């Protein structure tokens, strides 16, 4: 993972890769514009509608932009208006009134978060810097106020208002919102609706508040496959809920205590972006999608593995990166099999069978004998050492 390149994006701005051409990127630039970058030449051009200064557009420092779920050619960008382009920024169309002109006593509000519905084309939500929420069911022809009762800017707050909004992948009227007023209200504030914002439910049970490092909300995302499975990031941690926010629990594992600014579910993987502490990937969240309230109480539970692709093994003669070189770790090779033990076991065995029922591979918790020959003259971290299956209670892979 050394193929990282600097871009003209702002340090905490959005980046939107073209879903039809991965060589084209759009990003919030440091010059208050929307920058279009074309790889591999890295040529870039400002395609923002505010190139026309007579429009007098307002935008936040972390201006949102996303591609529509229903139209991969449509890029949406937030100012005080919602703008749309389907020709790569050559022309822009305004598809909302000034959504920040009224409400909350803040006439200078701007769009800070955008989401479109996978369940119903034409349904779009936006969140504003003053905490207000707006929704359209007809691709911007008309807009309704869907604001959360009681959510207004807090004096001295330095947050972003609606820091994230995500439409449900299964329910056209459902959405999830993150409210952020910074340390002025150092507590998480996540909400859900199932009726296009007519009513909202606060969903924070199990989330810590008052942490010195910050407990306020940053981002919330729904899983793309399982209803009720949500992921949330705060100023200090990552969390998961299996019941649509009624109960949250930590998903930190080996993550650092830092600010989690965005979350993406890509196929079977969960990707978390932090503010200065790297991008993190949780490989294969199939077990999270299969968990039920009874899973933990079962003596043993083997989860159905996610899809694995068999490829020819790497025959590259290069050596691994030295430990002092910053680089990312690759996911585990082959199929990933997860199992959960309700209590510690004395012995564990896992048999893999073919279609005829014959055992083709066996793993167990038995000690693995050392190879009866001298190790090669290379650093020890280059050598893979097989480990027996764990027998402690809890989740293993």
β-strands 111-116, 359-364 pairing: unpaired
Fill in the DSSP letter of residue 389. P
> By the 8 A CB rule, do 134 and 125 touch?
yes
Q: Which residue has the tokens 């109960």?
A: 247
Mean pLDDT within 286-294: 93
Instruction: Report whether pLDDT(1) > 60.
Output: no
φ/ψ of residue 299, rounded to 5: -60, -40
Instruction: Print the domain residue range for 208.
Output: 15-289
Mean pLDDT within 177-198: 96
In a domain, 9, yes or no: no
Same structural domain, 282 and 397: no
Identify the band that residue 276 occupies on the pLDDT scale cut at 50, 70 and 90.
confident
* Domain termination residue (choose one: 258, 289, 320): 289
At 31 the pLDDT is 66
DSSP strands (E only) in 223-366: 230-234, 238-241, 249-250, 260-266, 269-274, 279-282, 300-302, 339-341, 349-353, 359-364
Same structural domain, 167 and 65: yes
In a domain, 8, yes or no: no
Same structural domain, 111 and 196: yes
Total structural domains in the chain? 2
Of the candidates 257, 253, 254, the residue with the CA atom closest to the CA atom of residue 234: 257
In a domain, 7, yes or no: no
Three-class secondary structure of residue 247 per DSSP: coil
Residues 6 or more apart whose CB falls under 8 angstroms from that of 317 comprise none
Same structural domain, 301 and 152: no
Fill in the DSSP letter of residue 295. G
Same structural domain, 271 and 174: yes
* End-to-end CA separation in angstroms for the chain: 24
> By the 8 A CB rule, do 135 and 196 touch?
yes
At 310 the pLDDT is 83
Instruction: Report whether pLDDT(333) > 90.
Output: no
Mean pLDDT within 8-28: 90
DSSP strands (E only) in 64-187: 65-67, 75-78, 82-85, 93-94, 111-116, 124-128, 133-136, 144-145, 161-167, 175-180
Fill in the DSSP letter of residue 286. H
In a domain, 4, yes or no: no
Of the candidates 111, 110, 140, the residue with the CA atom closest to the CA atom of residue 124: 140
Same structural domain, 50 and 186: yes
Q: Which two three-digit tokens encode residue 286?
A: 């199939």
Q: Considering the entire predicted model, what is its pTM?
A: 0.93
Same structural domain, 213 and 261: yes
Half-sphere exposure (Cβ direction) of 390: Cα atoms closer than 13 Å = 13
Same structural domain, 39 and 118: yes
Rounding to the nearest 10 degrees, give the CA dihedral for residues 296, 168, 274, 130. -130
Domain holding 276: CATH number? 2.130.10.10
Question: What residues does 206 pair with on adjacent strands?
Answer: none
Q: Calculate the CA 169 to chain-centre distance.
A: 14
At 28 the pLDDT is 87
Same structural domain, 285 and 240: yes
Whether the upstream peptide bond of residue 24 has omega within 30° of 0, thus cis, is no
At 83 the pLDDT is 98
Model pLDDT for residues 47-82, shown as the tens digit of each residue: 999 989 899 999 888 899 999 999 999 999 999 999
At 34 the pLDDT is 93
| Cα 138 to Cα 247: distance, rounded to the nearest angstrom | 33
Same structural domain, 169 and 318: no
At 380 the pLDDT is 84
Same structural domain, 122 and 239: yes
Of the candidates 76, 73, 161, 163, the residue with the CA atom closest to the CA atom of residue 123: 76
- Helix, strand, coil percentages (3-state) for the chain, rounded to 5, are 5, 30, 65
> By the 8 A CB rule, do 265 and 224 touch?
yes
Residues 6 or more apart whose CB falls under 8 angstroms from that of 159 comprise 179, 180, 181, 182, 184, 185, 216
Same structural domain, 194 and 318: no
């Amino acid at each position: 993972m050394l193929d990282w390149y600097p871009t003209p994006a702002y340090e905490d701005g959005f980046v939107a890769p073209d879903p039809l051409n991965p060589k084209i990127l759009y990003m919030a630039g440091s010059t208050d514009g929307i920058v279009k970058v074309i790889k591999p030449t890295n040529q870039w051009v400002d395609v923002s509608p505010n190139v026309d200064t007579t429009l007098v557009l307002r935008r936040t420092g972390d201006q949102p932009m996303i591609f529509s779920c229903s139209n991969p050619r449509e890029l949406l960008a937030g100012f005080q208006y919602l703008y749309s382009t389907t020709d790569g920024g050559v022309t822009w169309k305004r598809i909302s009134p000034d959504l920040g002109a009224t409400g909350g006593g803040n006439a200078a509000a701007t769009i800070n978060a955008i989401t479109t519905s996978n369940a119903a084309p034409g349904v779009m939500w936006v969140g504003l810097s003053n905490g207000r929420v707006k929704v359209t069911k007809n691709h911007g022809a008309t807009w309704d106020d869907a604001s959360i009762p009681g959510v207004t800017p807090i004096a001295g707050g330095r947050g972003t208002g609606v820091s994230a909004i995500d439409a449900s992948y299964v329910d056209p009227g459902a959405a999830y919102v993150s409210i952020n007023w910074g340390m002025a209200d150092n507590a998480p504030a996540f909400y859900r609706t199932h009726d296009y914002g007519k009513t909202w439910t606060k969903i924070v049970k199990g989330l810590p508040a008052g942490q010195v490092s910050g407990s306020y909300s940053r981002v919330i995302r729904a899983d793309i496959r399982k209803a009720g499975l949500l992921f949330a990031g705060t100023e200090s941690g990552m969390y998961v809920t299996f019941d649509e926010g009624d109960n949250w629990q930590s998903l930190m594992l080996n993550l650092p205590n830092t600010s989690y600014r965005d979350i993406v579910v890509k196929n079977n993987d969960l990707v978390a972006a932090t503010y200065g502490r790297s991008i993190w990937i949780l490989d294969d969240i199939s077990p999270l999608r299969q968990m039920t309230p009874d899973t933990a109480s079962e003596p043993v539970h083997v989860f159905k593995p996610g899809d694995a692709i068999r490829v020819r093994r790497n025959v590259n003669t290069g050596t691994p990166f030295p430990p002092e070189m910053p680089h990312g770790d690759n996911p585990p090779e082959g199929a990933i099999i997860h199992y959960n033990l309700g209590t510690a076991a004395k012995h564990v065995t896992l048999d893999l069978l073919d279609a005829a029922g014959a055992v083709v591979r066996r793993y167990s918790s038995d000690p693995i004998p050392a190879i009866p020959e001298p190790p090669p003259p290379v650093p020890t971290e280059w050598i893979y050492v097989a480990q027996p299956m764990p027998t402690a209670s809890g989740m293993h892979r």
